[in-house]
Structure 1
């Protein structure tokens, strides 16, 4: 092998190493504002508000969440587990009619369990679990915060706003749907009739999804009441 060829090979290898190092540095570099806004959605604005409008502090907070939890890989749920979680959610909805705050507490616990089963930090570490969920489900994580705050408030049924509790559960259900729905485009496209029929069969009452909304492939668990039927409303 001639000296010229050896030099050319060395140059090529060095160039490849430089490119690889540059890619690694870019991947590790903290995400900028626009990237964080795309990833976290409305959670980005809430983080800014929690930091009293300090955008830099909020972005540092969110970037740290990504650094801690960005590499997390969600575990798939077995069909039987999805069915059990769906049944528990439906039962909590029914309980809401007579005991809104008790139902919200059940939903808070259920979301923590489902998230833990999907591979997120244990529900006993709420703050860390919420942070991890916000990295992977940023646009829909706020409902979990709302039901958790309501559950921790320990206000007796009949006090406070039942409508606010109802709205919190509706918002939290979007995250629940995401967590119990099989991941992957092919899985969503070819969901089984069993999943569809089981979610419909538990309740045939009015679906409270906002008009015009659709969550393809998700468990749609209709409410068994409307806002005028709930106790304390």
Structure 2
């Protein structure tokens, strides 16, 4: 057998092995981005996408895969301590304002969330749809609260009373959106070993203090309810 033929056979074997390896890897990659992978990644957002596409799961998966491709590499920039305190104080003020002026409070909360998302690295709030898509990739469990808040805020534009959203719906939208606010304003995640040292204190403190909704025990005092 000539040297040239031996070399050709070796090249063929190498190419065949490479193709076989790629074929073995591709299904795993496709699976991670396919139906089950996307369902795990997006959770309830997956079901909303399917519903929006009239039950067409393939179309929904193409949309979600495109979101993941576009925004999956986005890295959030946690707020500094002082900046986090300012945002928390503003959110607390929004909640307190709700008692006397629900529509204004909801509109301000919508603007505040858009601003906060931009501050930590998501698309600017002026590009709401892009911002929402990016948030759905990284905060899929809470993005619906922001979507609902934004819709309610838009319905209230113009100060409509008779045709406006009921106070209870505004209250629920604000409560639901608070989960996303807390995620975005949270301190940077520490290494697991370090975080474990103070886990009881952190878990006890999360969601307490001034960020708690002040109307929870006084819903009847909100005007328009």
State the TM-score, normalized to the length of structure 1: 0.76
CA distance in 2, matches of 1:54, 1:107: 34
Say if 1:40 and 1:139, in contact at 8 Å, map to a contact too: yes
Asked if residue 172 in structure 1 is aligned to residue 162 in structure 2, the reply is no
**Where in structure 2 are the equivalents of 1:146-161 lying within 5 Å?**
146-153=148-155, 154=157, 156=159, 158=161, 159-161=164-166
CA shift at 1:156, angstroms?
Answer: 2.0
Point out where structure 2 has 5 or more consecutive residues left out of the alignment: 1-9
Q: Deviations over 1:181-213 (max 9, x none)?
A: 123254755669xx98xxxxxxxxxxxxxxxxx
More helix per residue: 1 or 2?
2
Mapping of 1:29-48 within 5 angstroms? 31-48=33-50
Q: Which moved more, 1:14-23 or 1:157-166?
A: 14-23
Q: Report the CA distance shift for 1:21/1:39 in structure 2 as closer, same or farther (over 3 A).
A: same
Deviation readout 1:109-143 (Å, 9 max, x if unpaired): 11111111111111111000000000001011101
Structure 1 equivalent of residue 61 of structure 2: 59
CA distance in 2, matches of 1:24, 1:124: 38
- Tell me the residue number matched to 1:229: 221
Mapping for residues 138-217 of structure 1, pairs under 5 Å: 138-153=140-155, 154=157, 156=159, 158=161, 159-184=164-189, 186=192, 189=196
With normalisation by structure 2, the TM-score equals 0.78
Matched ranges for 1:113-152 at <5 A: 113-152=115-154
Match of 2:79 among 77, 80, 85: 77
Compare CA radii of gyration and give the structure with the larger one: 2
The answer to whether the 8 Å contact 1:181/1:218 transfers is no
Q: 1:41 to 1:160 in 2, by over 3 A?
A: same
**SS of 1:173 mapped into structure 2:** helix
User: Matched residues in 1 for 2:186 and 2:133: separation?
Assistant: 21
1:205 is matched with none
CA pair 161-191 structure 1, distance change in 2 beyond 3 A:
farther
Coordinate RMSD, CA, aligned:
3.4
Instruction: State how many pairs are aligned.
Output: 209
Aligned mates of 1:173, 1:35 — CA distance in 2: 27
Structure 1 runs not aligned, ≥5 long: 1-7, 197-214
1:43–1:134: 8 Å Cα contact kept in structure 2? yes
Q: Residue 6 of structure 2 aligns with which residue?
A: none
